[in-house]
Amino acid sequence: MSAPALTVTVDGASVEVPAGATVLDAARAAGRWVPTLCFDARQAPFGACRACLVGVEGAAAPLPACTTPCRDGMAIDTEDAAGRRVAHAVVELVLSELPRAPAPHTELAQVARRLGVGEPRWPGETHAPAPPDVRHPYLAFQHELCISCGRCVRACDELQGTFALTATGRGFGANVAAGLDAGFRDSACVACGACADTCPTDAITEVSLLP
Amino acid sequence: MTESVTTTCGYCGVGCRLEAHRREDDGIASISPALDGPANLGHTCLKGRFAHRFARHRERLTTPLIRDERGGPARAASWEEAIERIAAELGRVRAAHGPDAIAGLASSRATNEDCYAMARMMRAAIGTNNIDNCSRVCHSPTSFALRKALGLSGATGSFSDFDHTGATLLIGANPTEGHPVVGARIKQATLRGMRLVTIDPRRIELADYGVLHLAPRAGTNAAVVLGIAHVLARDGFVDHAFVAARTDGWAAFAELLPAYAPAAVEAISGVPAADLERAAHVYGEASEACIAWGLGVTEHKHGSEVVQLICDVALMTGKIGRPGSALLPLRGQNNVQGSSDMGALPDTYTAYRSVADEAVASSFEDAWGVPLSRTKGYTIPQMFDAAVAGELKAMYVFGEDVAQTDPNTAHVVHALESLDFLVCQDIFETETTKYADVILPASSFLEKSGTFTNAERRVQLVAPAIDPPGEARTDFEIIKAVSRALGHELPWATPADAMDEIAALTPDWAGISHARLGRRGLQWPVAPDGSDAPILYERAFAREGGRAHFAALPYKAPGDAADDEFPLILVTGRRLQHYNAGTMTRRTGNVELVDADVLEIHPDDAARLWISDGDRISVRSRVGRIELPAQVTDRIEPGHVFTTFHFPETRTNLLVGASADVNTSCPEYKVVAVDVRPIGEQPARVPALA
């Protein structure tokens, strides 16, 4: 029933993946790390952040691992120099928009550490610092930490199916809102917590886990 | 955060795998979904994820309590004194009135091992089959009907069937509130194109995602299911090859169907004939289709018959035993499947084998080393009747608040007051513990090890993330201690040892051990080599001859009906934010989201009765009366009202009478005729002129 498996090479090692697998799937199957920010295995690949660029033999430029399907015989270089340079810049730019560093346990902080991104080189405008929104008994917004990756919005849509969250604003005002920015409590939110679970910066987190 | 433990959620029957993160200073810091949980696939709801603070609530029972006189104040006591008192009182009752004057309730909230221990204690230490569990009042009709029609008491497939089926009939269930993670899964399936038909007197959230919503009058499910079968038969959807090869009883069932033409069913149920035809076609035209149901099917006078008719529909179309074609009862509590599987029932040992079966009974006698009764014990409602009649003298209630959740509350309280001796084993004081002579402080699901079995028959490990508070103990330790004091040693050091005994004595569980369950659990039956059964009946049914059985059961009227004095029909159910009696969720932040029961009433009925949204109103049935606020909404059909039973201030079950399923005595919670009016308005002595 299942389609025939594909064989690809990841950093020189051969790995077998099912048809339909992405380059990211293949890299993970081979035990190789690829930086990601907007990716969550529970959601359809989004391809927005460009942190997961990898080298593919024969491609003119690095390709996003999360949205590129594997072809049989594909040779993948997860540490492609150009790809890594972009990933480093993406993460540094993202960090430069935040008025404070994300907590060390967050996915963004972990990716930055692993890529060796230090203090961003571009000081200047950031998201406006704001106190956390704690109008809901469990779910809190820290809007200043939102990087507009869209994971919370997609978790609400694709995992829960409540469609309570939406992307709002532009530029440094880009953020996420529950309902018409009514806060979780007065939106359609059912408090499943899928948004907090996927958020890579704690822009959405639990009230009891706020710093 | 220091440590994390992977465990299984203790709320509903979905069986979400959770990561519980322990705080350094004791207590749970947070809970997140396990990404590899087979039932939840990295998702949870607000109960499993957030509603954990009850575990360290100041009202937790942390020491045994004893009442020196019935109705008197409770005082703290040592474990030794409490257990001595239990052994002495139960011993006295047994000596004076025989073992059948004592009854026990195991808990569908507790683990398989706890329930097995409780059943063994009642049977071997006390010597009675008076053991039951709260599945009696929810899905016992499902269990009965599935065994009768197909052979085994469990879903025929898995939740994953929703992911690759063409159509689903969802009857009498509101999964986005009662089983939120499965509700989300069904919703996602509809967004991908699965055709959903919802059948419920309330316009549930999923109705907005389906292709069709049928709103039958409460209590007329049988007519609707027979009407669907009529159209399937009439329009050529019968899989005659399947029927001939794998079933018996088709002819008698087919003979019944001419009487259920859509127009006739419309007259009974109020469902438009055209909708009934469409519903049958949605199901019949899909090459794979599922039927899922909940307590809106079972908690009726003829609930067990409706489940048999649901089986008939799957059998006549051959939509069973394949990926995407399954019968999926949405079991209520976390271990409502397992507590019954474990033989915490008055008529069966593990895996539904009769207490009267000589070979089975003697296998347990050999293992336990005591003679065992061959006589069926009392069901829960029979226990209360027997207590009021003076035949039952003592009860041991473990993890159930019968005085809030069981029907006919006044009768239940009368029964509890009539007992000579009542033991309650729970994590909080409840309505029921008010009548207890001894109260034992037990442990929540976050504090124990063992297994729960979810609605897919999946046995999954439960692991302690924190310790029981104060002197509270795990249920497993408590039952062992009481059984020892009663003279029967339960010879297990850990719940894993108990599971080994269960596996040794239960062929369908032969391959189960804690070591083997791992992170994903196993779906029974599990062969000795450890291979499990995500799909049942692929080749044969588990009945004699391997054939399924069609039940030829006509529609029968429900036990209660609206009349001049009680013109509306009350249906009860649950809300997303709370869980049953609310013992746990009322002690969490969930009360900030929902802090009271309300009565849903249709705008037409509300206008006629001069009721506005938020008004405090009186609801009176034939057996009781309550007061609560009204919520005017067109989610409920005219002629019906809906409420929940989460708050003891409301005591909704004062309204529910003694009517129950004819085969399993599951109470008819879903059809109660009531009179609704603003507070302060007296019922008119003379009916108003029309």
- For the residues of B550-607, what is the DSSP string, one character each? ---------S----SSS-EEEEEE--TT--TT-TTGGGSTHHHH--S--EEE-HHHHH
A183 CB within 8 Å of a chain B CB: no
H or E element, residue B276: helix B273-285
Nearest to B550 by CA among B142, B148, B139, B144: B148
Per-residue pLDDT at B681: 66
Say if A81 falls within a structural domain: yes
Contact A190 B176 (CB under 8 A): yes
Cis status of the peptide bond prior to B64, with omega within 30 of 0: no
CA distances to B87, B398, B457, B584, B648 from B430, in Å: 23, 12, 30, 11, 9
| Same domain membership, residue A115 and residue A144 | no
Integer Cα distance of B8 and B462 in angstroms: 5
A50-72 b/e (C-beta count within 10 Å ≥ 16 → b): bbbbbbbeeeeebbbbbbbebee
- A129 secondary structure, DSSP code: P
Instruction: Tell me whether B301 touches chain A (CB under 8 Å).
Output: no
Collapsing DSSP to helix, strand or coil, B451 comes out as strand
Predicted local distance difference test score (pLDDT) of residue A2: 56
CB B453 within 8 A of CB B517: no
Buried b (16+ CB within 10 A) or exposed e, B266-286: bebbbbebebbbbbbbbbbeb
Residue B245, chain A, CB below 8 Å: the answer is: no
A165 and A61 within one domain: no
List all residues 6 or more positions away from B46 whose beta carbon is below 8 Å from its beta carbon: A138, A190, A191, A192, A193, B180, B576, B577, B590, B593
Does A108 lie in the same domain as A148?
no
For the record, the structure tokens of B76 come out as 């703290």
Q: Do residues A106 and A148 share a domain? A: no
The partner residue sitting opposite B46, judged by closest CB among A158, A185, A192, is: A192
**CATH code, domain with A175:** 3.30.70.20
Which are the contacts of A204, defined by CB distance < 8 A and separation ≥ 6?
A: A139, A140, A141, A142, A152, A176, A195, A196
Mean pLDDT, rounded, for A69-76: 97
Check if the beta carbon of residue B350 is closer than 8 Å to that of residue B125. Answer: no
Same domain, A162 and A94: no
Kindly state whether residues A116 and A24 are assigned to the same domain: yes
Closest residue in chain A to residue B186, using alpha carbons only = A161
Edge-to-edge strand order for the sheet containing B65-67? Answer: B74-76, B65-67, B438-441, B421-426, B394-398, B102-106, B131-133
- Per DSSP, the residues of B354-373 read ETT-HHHHHHHHHHHTS---
In chain B, which segments carry CATH 3.40.50.740? 65-138+334-523
Residue A57 DSSP label: T
Q: Which residues contact B486 (CB under 8 A, 6 or more apart)?
A: B87, B90, B91, B121, B125, B126
Out of A158, A192, A209, closest to residue B45 by CB:
A192
Joined tokens for residue B363: 């296998």
Locate CATH 2.40.40.20 in chain B: 568-678
Chain B residues closer than 8 Å to A191 by CB:
45-46, 50, 577, 593
Closest Cβ–Cβ partner in A42, A138, A197 for B41: A42
Mean pLDDT value across residues A34-49: 96
pLDDT at B688: 46
Torsion of CA B120, B124, B129, B134, to 10 degrees: -20
- In angstroms, the separation between the Cα of residue B648 and the nearest Cα of chain A is 22
Residue A202 lies in a domain: yes
B-chain residue closest to A191, CA distance: B46
Residue A57 lies in a domain: yes
| A115 and A28 fall within a common domain | yes
Question: What does the pLDDT read at residue B332?
Answer: 85
A157 within some domain: yes
Measured distance CA(B507)–CA(B351) in Å, rounded: 8
Q: How close is the nearest chain A Cα to the Cα of B25, in Å?
A: 14
Q: What are phi and psi of B636, to 5 degrees?
A: -100, 145
For residues B374-388, one letter each, b for 16 or more C-beta atoms within 10 angstroms of the residue's C-beta and e for the rest, the string is eebbbbbbbbbbbbb
Q: Flag whether residue B44 sits within 8 Å of chain A, measured between CB atoms.
A: yes
The verdict on A15 and A87 lying in the same domain is: yes
User: What's the one-letter identity of residue B234?
Assistant: R
Other C-beta atoms lying within 10 Å of the C-beta of residue B607:
12
B282 shares contact with chain A (CB less than 8 Å): no
User: What is the reported pLDDT for B682?
Assistant: 60
The token duo for B596 is: 């009271």
CA distance B474 to B111: 11
User: Looking at chain A from residue 118 to 137, which residues have their Cβ under 8 Å from any Cβ of chain B?
Assistant: 137
In a domain, A130, yes or no: no
Note the pLDDT of residue A1.
44
Please state the φ and ψ torsions of residue B415, each to the nearest 5 degrees: -65, -45
Give the other-Cβ count within 10 Å of B562's Cβ. Answer: 18
Q: Mean pLDDT of residues grouped by 10 in chain B (690 residues)?
A: 88 97 89 97 96 94 96 96 98 98 96 98 98 91 96 97 97 96 97 97 96 96 98 98 98 98 98 98 98 95 97 98 97 94 97 97 98 97 97 97 90 96 97 97 97 98 96 98 98 98 97 97 97 97 96 95 95 91 90 93 96 94 94 94 91 90 91 92 52
Mark which of A100, A124, A148 sits at the end of a domain: A124
A103 plus A15 within the same structural domain: yes
Whether B182 and B153 have beta carbons less than 8 Å apart is answered as no
Which residue, A72, A98, A124, sits at the end of a domain? A124
Nearest residue to B307 (alpha-carbon basis) of B332, B328, B324: B328
Across the range A85-106, mean pLDDT stands at 96
B188 and A158: CB-CB below 8 Å? yes
Domain end, chosen from A94, A124, A154, is at: A124
Write the residue in A161, A193, A197 that is nearest to B191 by C-beta: A161
Residues of chain A in contact with residue B176, where contact means CB-CB under 8 angstroms, are: 190
Q: Which CATH class is domain B156-328?
A: alpha beta
Nearest CA to CA, how far is A61 from chain B (Å)?
33
* CATH class of the region B568-678: mainly beta
Domain count for chain A = 2
Put simply, the answer to whether A206 touches B50 (Cβ < 8 Å) is yes
Name the A residues in 31-90 with CB < 8 Å from any B CB: 41-42
Query: Cβ–Cβ of A197/B32 closer than 8 Å?
Result: yes
Q: How far is A126 from chain B (nearest CA, A)?
A: 30
- In contact, B593 and A137? CB cutoff 8 Å: yes
What gap in Å lies between CA B67 and CA B70, rounded to an integer? 6
β-pair partners for B570: B641, B672
The candidate with the shortest Cα–Cα distance to B324, out of B505, B171, B164, is B164
Give the structural domain span for A193. Answer: 139-209
- Is the distance from CB of B423 to CB of B397 less than 8 angstroms? yes
Query: Minimal Cα–Cα distance from A187 to chain B, Å?
Result: 12
Token pair 């004939």: residue? B273
Every domain range in chain B assigned CATH 3.40.228.10? 156-328
A contacts of B29 (beta carbons < 8 Å)? 208-209
Whether residue A194 lies within 8 A of chain B, CB to CB, comes out as yes
**Do A157 and A193 reside in the same domain of the chain?**
yes
Contact predicate B461/B20, CB 8 Å: no
What kind of fold does domain B65-138+334-523 have according to CATH?
Rossmann fold (3.40.50)
Q: What H or E segment, with its residue span, contains residue B142?
A: helix B140-149
Q: How many CB atoms lie within 10 A of CB B6?
A: 17
Whether residue A131 is contained in a domain is answered as no
On whether both A2 and A94 belong to a single domain, the answer is yes
The DSSP symbol for B23 reads P
Are A188 and A119 in the same domain? no
Q: What is the CATH number of the domain that holds A49?
A: 3.10.20.740
